[in-house]
């Protein structure tokens, strides 16, 4: 009966790593990720050749790089998903320390690649965006702190994670990168809520976010310009939002045809931030709905499996990773249809970008590791470990 309720699996002595991994992994979530990556390559074939020609590269230069980065991301995802939760936590701690230092050093050693926001390190052959790697590692770190605070005589983990969250959000806002700052704050807020935060504190946090938005609007021309463009009743057809809106409108239900879309000729970020506009124009609403269903399936299946988990650390970390993954996809697509202000955020596993792909592989690998079926133990064993 316990196995039926809590989703445990029998432990087989001498089980090899790969058979045990295959038996306990969420194969549906893993399949959805692989399909999303395949769709990303398909859309990259359509979106990237005009940009490659403009920059003097071979037509499929960006697609080839996407394949290389994607292969690295998939290998990383599989390796991380084989780890036990304790090992994932150690990996997250090391990753957090490295990415936090890298994020702090961006104002000195980083570059903006002419985009007005210092978010990257130029490595010559590629670029590195520390915030992409900071997100999953911070989620796991914060979950560890919050879970520790629930132990008898445990540390003030919630307060410690809040201080870290504020520091990260401030550093991201100074780049400026308000999109990633909002993702970090959202992931932490979800875990805080699941950990049992009082409603009054959640309302207070929302008030602080709104107040911070007003301050950013007043002090940042970059932020104010995007908000003004979002609230404007008229969409300038020569802007990125204008091109994307027109492409989505032209695509209809089944699209204008493979290779027949025009938005990739006009949008400089057609292969990254606005890849969904290319999908809508060439393949229509049909493909867009498939993409939405895939992201929805990943998030809902992960959350469903986490409801069976007794370990508070695993439950919090998995929830934070799943919700952050889902909200990033939602924000990217929401920007393209003008439901949200422009954020400069990639569509996970679909958009081009080495940092985004590899960091996404780490994040989903952690999520798959946390949602694997495992023996939950008796509730009395858990209470005895806590000294009850």
pLDDT band at 379 (very low <50, low <70, confident <90, very high): very low
Task: Tell me the CA distances in angstroms from 308 to 40, 61, 85, 245, 314, one per residue in order.
Answer: 32, 45, 15, 42, 11
Would you say residue 387 lies in a domain? no
pLDDT tens digits along 190-225: 999 998 877 777 788 788 778 877 877 777 776 777
Would you say residue 7 lies in a domain? no
The whole-number average pLDDT for the span 92-104 is 95
Q: What predicted TM-score, i.e. pTM, was given to this entire model? A: 0.88
Structure tokens of 187? 């992931």
Q: What CA–CA distance (Å, rounded) separates 227 from 174?
A: 17
Q: What CA–CA distance (Å, rounded) separates 291 from 231?
A: 27
122 DSSP assignment:
E
Would you say residue 105 lies in a domain? yes
Q: What is the end-to-end Cα distance of the chain in Å, rounded?
A: 25
Does pLDDT of 80 surpass 60?
Answer: yes
Question: Which residue carries 């989620």 as its tokens?
Answer: 139
Question: Which residue carries 């769709």 as its tokens?
Answer: 39
Whether the CB-CB separation of 66 and 275 falls below 8 Å is answered with no
Whether the CB-CB separation of 310 and 382 falls below 8 Å is answered with yes
Q: What CA–CA distance (Å, rounded) separates 326 from 301?
A: 12
Q: What CA–CA distance (Å, rounded) separates 85 from 313?
A: 9
pLDDT above 70 as % of the chain = 90
222 C-beta neighbours (distance < 10 Å), count: 13
Would you say residue 272 lies in a domain? yes
pLDDT tens digits along 16-51: 788 889 999 999 999 999 999 999 999 998 888 888
Q: What CA–CA distance (Å, rounded) separates 308 from 295?
A: 21
- Which residues lie closer than 8 Å to 342 by C-beta, 6 or more apart? 226, 229, 230, 240, 241, 335
Would you say residue 4 lies in a domain? no
Q: How many structural domains compose the chain? A: 1
- Which residues lie closer than 8 Å to 88 by C-beta, 6 or more apart? 80, 140, 317, 366, 369, 370
- Which residues lie closer than 8 Å to 239 by C-beta, 6 or more apart? 229
Would you say residue 186 lies in a domain? yes
For residue 361, give its domain range: 16-372
pLDDT band at 319 (very low <50, low <70, confident <90, very high): very high
The whole-number average pLDDT for the span 352-364 is 94
pLDDT tens digits along 271-307: 888 899 899 999 999 999 999 999 999 999 999 999 9
Would you say residue 5 lies in a domain? no
Of the candidates 301, 306, 363, 311, the residue with the CA atom closest to the CA atom of residue 133: 363
């Amino acid at each position: 009966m316990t196995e039926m309720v809590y989703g445990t699996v029998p432990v087989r002595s001498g089980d090899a790593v790969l058979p045990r991994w295959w038996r306990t992994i969420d194969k549906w979530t893993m399949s959805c990720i692989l399909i999303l990556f395949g769709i990303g390559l398909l859309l990259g074939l359509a979106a990237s050749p005009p940009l490659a020609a403009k920059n003097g590269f071979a037509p499929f230069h960006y697609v080839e790089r996407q394949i290389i980065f994607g292969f690295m991301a998939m290998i990383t995802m599989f390796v991380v998903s084989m780890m036990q939760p304790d090992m994932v936590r150690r990996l997250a701690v090391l990753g957090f320390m490295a990415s936090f230092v890298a994020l702090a050093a961006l104002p000195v050693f980083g570059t903006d690649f002419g985009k007005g926001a210092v978010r990257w390190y130029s490595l010559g052959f590629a670029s590195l965006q520390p915030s992409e790697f900071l997100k999953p590692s911070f989620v796991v770190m914060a979950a560890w702190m919050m879970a520790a605070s629930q132990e008898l005589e445990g540390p003030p983990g919630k307060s410690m994670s809040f201080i870290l969250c504020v520091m990260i959000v401030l550093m991201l806002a100074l780049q400026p990168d308000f999109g990633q700052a909002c993702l970090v704050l959202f992931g932490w807020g979800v875990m805080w809520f699941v950990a049992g935060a009082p409603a009054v504190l959640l309302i207070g946090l929302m008030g602080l976010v709104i107040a911070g938005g007003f301050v950013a609007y007043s002090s940042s021309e970059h932020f104010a310009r995007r908000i003004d463009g979002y609230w404007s009743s008229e969409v300038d057809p020569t802007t990125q939002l204008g091109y994307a809106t027109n492409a989505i409108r032209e695509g209809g239900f089944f699209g204008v045809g493979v290779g027949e879309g025009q938005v990739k000729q006009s949008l400089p970020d057609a292969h990254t931030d606005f890849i969904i506009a290319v999908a809508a124009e060439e393949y229509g609403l049909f493909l867009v709905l498939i993409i939405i269903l895939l992201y929805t399936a990943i998030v809902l299946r992960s959350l469903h499996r986490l409801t069976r988990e007794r370990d508070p650390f695993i439950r919090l970390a998995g929830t934070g990773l799943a919700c952050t993954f889902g909200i990033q996809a939602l924000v990217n697509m929401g920007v393209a249809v003008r439901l949200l202000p422009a954020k400069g955020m990639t569509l996970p596993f679909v958009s081009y970008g080495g940092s985004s792909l590899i960091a996404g592989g780490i994040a989903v690998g952690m999520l798959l590791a946390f949602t694997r079926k495992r023996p939950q133990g008796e509730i009395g064993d858990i209470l005895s470990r806590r000294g009850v």
